[in-house]
């Protein structure tokens, strides 16, 4: 059985960490993967550190990613890197908001742009990503979100070929 792909989303409460991981979990699920996602709700959301684990593959067991076994770490605010780095496996990919500095027109859609970055590493149809993004936000934000998603995707593709 192939190993799962593990993705940790991290940031501060209220910044869209859970929303991003919710969207991604649905995307992977719609793409026919087995998905497990878990995080902790409650006190941690009053501006404190928040992280969410998503695992996708064929047959996922634990909903929690063991420390040091994450393939991707997506961080929505830079100051959350030190307390989450240990989640990443050796050679794992760290995706941070830094790559997007100055490129996003709508700062609020950072989480969507980071999903764009992640999409460039995974073999899932863009259509599925966009349809889940559409479902997750008000109608009138869709065009801006598509733009942010595309910026994220392009930036990440450039860094991979560079």
Partner 1 sequence: MNAPIPQKLLLSGNEAVAEAALDCGVTLGTGYPGTPSTDILEHFAKIGGKAQWAPNEKVAMEVGLGVAFSKSRSLVTMKHVGVNVAADPLFTSAYTGVDGGMVIITADDPGMASSQNEQDNRRYAVAAGIPMLEPSNSQEAYEFTFKAFEISEKWNIPVFLRMTTRICHALTGVEKSVSIAPPAKPGYEKNIQSRVMIPAFARPAHVKLRQKLADIEVFNDDSDLNTVTGTDSSFGIITSGVTFMHCREAMPDAKILKIGMCYPLPIQSIREFAKSVDRCMVIEEGDPYLVEAIRAAGISVEGKAEMFRFGELNVKKVRKIIDGDTTEPPAIPRGKAPELCAGCPHQTSFNVLNKLGCIVAGDIGCYTLGVLPPYSGMDTCICMGASIGIGLGLRHSLPREQAIKVVSVIGDGTFAHSGMTGLMEMMYNRPEYGHLVIILDNGTTAMTGMQESPTTGRALDHSNAPQISLEGLVKACGVEYLDVIDPYYDQDRYEELIKERLASEKTAVIIARRQCVISNKKIKAYEKEQDSGCQEGGCDHE
Distance CA 62, CA 158 (A): 34
- Closest contact distance (angstroms) between CB of 102 and partner 1 is 25
Which residue lies nearer to partner 1 by CB, 136 or 150?
A: 136
Q: Is 61 in the site for partner 1 (CB under 8 A)?
A: yes
Q: Is 19 in the site for partner 1 (CB under 8 A)?
A: yes
CB 148 within 8 A of CB 54: no
Query: Of 40, 112, 23, 121, nearest to 76 (Cα)?
Result: 112
Q: Is 142 in the site for partner 1 (CB under 8 A)?
A: no
Which member of 7, 8, 17, 118 binds partner 1 (CB under 8 A)? 17
Token pair for 21: 């991981």
Quote the DSSP letter at residue 103. T
Q: Is 90 in the site for partner 1 (CB under 8 A)?
A: no
Distance CA 162, CA 160 (A): 6
Which member of 6, 9, 23, 36 binds partner 1 (CB under 8 A)? 36
Q: Is 116 in the site for partner 1 (CB under 8 A)?
A: no
Which member of 44, 120, 131, 150 binds partner 1 (CB under 8 A)? 44
Which member of 25, 93, 113, 133 binds partner 1 (CB under 8 A)? 25
Place of tokens 């599925």: 128
- Backbone conformation region of residue 48, classed left if phi is above 0, alpha if psi is from -120 to 50, else beta: beta
Q: Is 46 in the site for partner 1 (CB under 8 A)?
A: yes
CB 110 within 8 A of CB 95: no
Residue ranges that bind partner 1, judged by CB under 8 A: 12-19, 22, 25-26, 29, 34-49, 51, 60-64, 66-67, 79-80, 82-84, 86
């Amino acid at each position: 059985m192939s190993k799962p792909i593990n993705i940790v989303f991290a940031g501060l409460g209220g910044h869209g960490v859970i929303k991003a991981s919710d969207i991604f979990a649905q995307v992977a699920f719609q793409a026919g993967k087995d998905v497990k996602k878990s995080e902790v709700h409650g006190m941690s959301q009053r501006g404190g550190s928040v992280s969410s684990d998503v695992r996708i593959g064929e047959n996922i067991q634990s909903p929690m990613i063991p420390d040091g076994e994450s393939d991707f770490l997506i961080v929505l605010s830079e100051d959350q890197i030190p307390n989450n780095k240990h989640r990443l496996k050796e050679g794992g990919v760290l995706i941070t908001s830094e790559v997007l500095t100055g490129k996003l027109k709508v700062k609020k859609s950072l989480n969507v742009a980071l999903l764009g970055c992640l999409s460039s590493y995974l073999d899932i149809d863009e259509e599925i990503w966009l349809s889940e993004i559409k479902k997750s936000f008000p109608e009138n934000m869709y065009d801006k979100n598509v733009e942010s998603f595309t910026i994220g995707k392009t930036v990440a593709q450039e860094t991979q070929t560079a």
